[in-house]
Structure formats: structure tokens, C-alpha cells
């Protein structure tokens, strides 16, 4: 009688407590483990594929575009804006950028109030017309960012090649050798 009472108090929630149902539950659990292992393997494969197909860094993309002379493209400007935001140039530089063409785009899209705020921030008289403010801001930007602009950067020059067979060059080589 006690066994019958214990069977009645067991709550099965719709599952019979016989040996077959216990085996099916074990098989289901094993199946879940297999599927978890399969998921881990597919994730590992995806990670290894991601490593082989790794996206090039932003700086390498910018350098590649510079090498291909694609500096006037909108893609280049977008990448420069992204780089400057990552580096925090917009917080350090009072103009918000180091690139002239990006600053010109900012000026084109600015209202008169924006121009006045930017002028006041940079020590320019804000009580001028929009055209005068834009020209003054552009002039000030060029003066402050002279060394930062990519168009002004010097290109490497080729050094002088001395020919030892030339008598004048031979004398120069002797003098340089003595130093």
C-alpha cells in the first residue's frame, strides 16, 4: 500500500517513469551534448576562417589608398574621419579635424551660428558675415594645421650617387672617407 501511495504522489508532468522513458531522456541528453559539440566545432571553424580572411586595419587601408593616389575619393575621406574619431582628433583639435577637405565640408554644412561658435573657440572675431567667417576660419585652419596636412608633407628625395670612375667624384669620395 505504501508503494501505491508513493506512486500517486510522484508528479510526472506528462512523462511516465518507466525504464523506456528514462532511456529516451538519457538519449536526448546525449543528443544535446553532441549538438553542443557540433556547435563548438562550427564556431571554431568560423573563427579560423575569420583569421584567414582577416579584414585589413584602417591604417593599412589608408596607406594603400595613398599609394594608389585615391586621396580625393569619398571613401578616403570616410576612412580619415573614422581614423580621426578613433584617435580623438575631434576632441583635441579646435577645428575638429586635421584634413583640409574634411574641414571644408564642415564649413559648407555649417550654419551661421555654428560658424560663430567655431570662430569664438578659435579666437576669431565672430561678429562677421558668413562669407568672412568661412574665409577667416579657413585661413586660421591652414595656419594651425600646416604640418598636419598630407598635401604639404615633403616627399623623399633621392640622394646623390657618386661614381668612383669620375675623377671629381673620386676626390669627393676620398674627402668623405677621411671624415
Residues 24, 27: Cα–Cα separation, whole Å: 5
Task: Classify residue 16: in a domain, yes or no.
Answer: no
Chain-centroid distance of CA 108 in Å reads 25
Task: Classify residue 119: in a domain, yes or no.
Answer: yes
Task: Classify residue 106: in a domain, yes or no.
Answer: yes
Its domain, for residue 91, covers 58-144
Written as nine digits, the cell of 93 is: 583639435
**pLDDT tens per residue across span 8-61:** 555 555 544 555 555 555 555 555 444 555 555 555 555 555 555 567 788 888
Instruction: Report the number of distinct structural domains present in the chain.
Output: 1
Task: Classify residue 23: in a domain, yes or no.
Answer: no
Give yes or no for a contact between 56 and 65, defined as CB atoms under 8 angstroms apart: no
Give yes or no for a contact between 73 and 111, defined as CB atoms under 8 angstroms apart: no
Look at residue 136 and give its three-state secondary structure: helix
Task: Classify residue 31: in a domain, yes or no.
Answer: no
Instruction: Please state the pTM of the whole predicted model.
Output: 0.49
Look at residue 152 and give its three-state secondary structure: coil
Closest CA to 101 of 123, 126, 79: 79
Q: What count of other Cβ atoms lies within 10 Å of the Cβ of residue 165?
A: 6
Task: Classify residue 83: in a domain, yes or no.
Answer: yes
**pLDDT tens per residue across span 88-140:** 887 888 888 888 888 998 999 999 999 999 999 989 999 999 999 999 999 99
Written as nine digits, the cell of 35 is: 549538438
Task: Classify residue 100: in a domain, yes or no.
Answer: yes
Task: Classify residue 120: in a domain, yes or no.
Answer: yes
Amino acid at each position: 500500500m505504501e508503494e501505491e501511495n508513493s506512486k500517486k504522489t510522484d508528479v510526472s508532468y506528462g512523462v511516465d517513469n518507466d525504464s523506456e522513458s528514462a532511456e529516451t531522456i538519457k538519449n536526448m541528453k546525449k543528443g544535446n551534448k553532441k549538438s553542443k559539440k557540433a556547435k563548438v566545432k562550427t564556431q571554431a571553424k568560423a573563427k579560423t576562417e575569420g583569421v584567414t580572411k582577416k579584414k585589413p586595419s584602417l591604417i593599412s587601408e589608408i596607406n594603400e589608398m595613398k599609394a594608389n593616389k585615391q586621396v580625393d575619393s569619398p571613401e578616403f575621406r570616410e576612412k580619415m574621419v573614422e581614423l580621426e574619431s578613433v584617435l580623438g582628433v575631434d576632441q583635441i583639435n579646435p577645428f575638429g579635424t586635421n584634413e583640409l577637405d574634411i574641414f571644408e565640408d564642415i564649413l559648407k554644412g555649417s550654419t551661421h551660428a555654428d560658424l560663430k561658435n567655431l570662430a569664438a573657440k578659435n579666437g576669431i572675431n565672430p561678429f562677421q558675415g558668413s562669407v568672412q567667417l568661412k574665409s577667416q576660419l579657413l585661413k586660421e585652419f591652414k595656419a594651425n594645421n600646416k604640418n598636419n596636412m598630407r598635401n604639404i608633407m615633403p616627399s623623399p628625395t633621392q640622394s646623390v650617387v657618386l661614381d668612383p670612375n669620375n675623377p671629381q667624384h673620386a676626390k669627393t669620395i676620398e674627402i668623405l672617407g677621411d671624415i
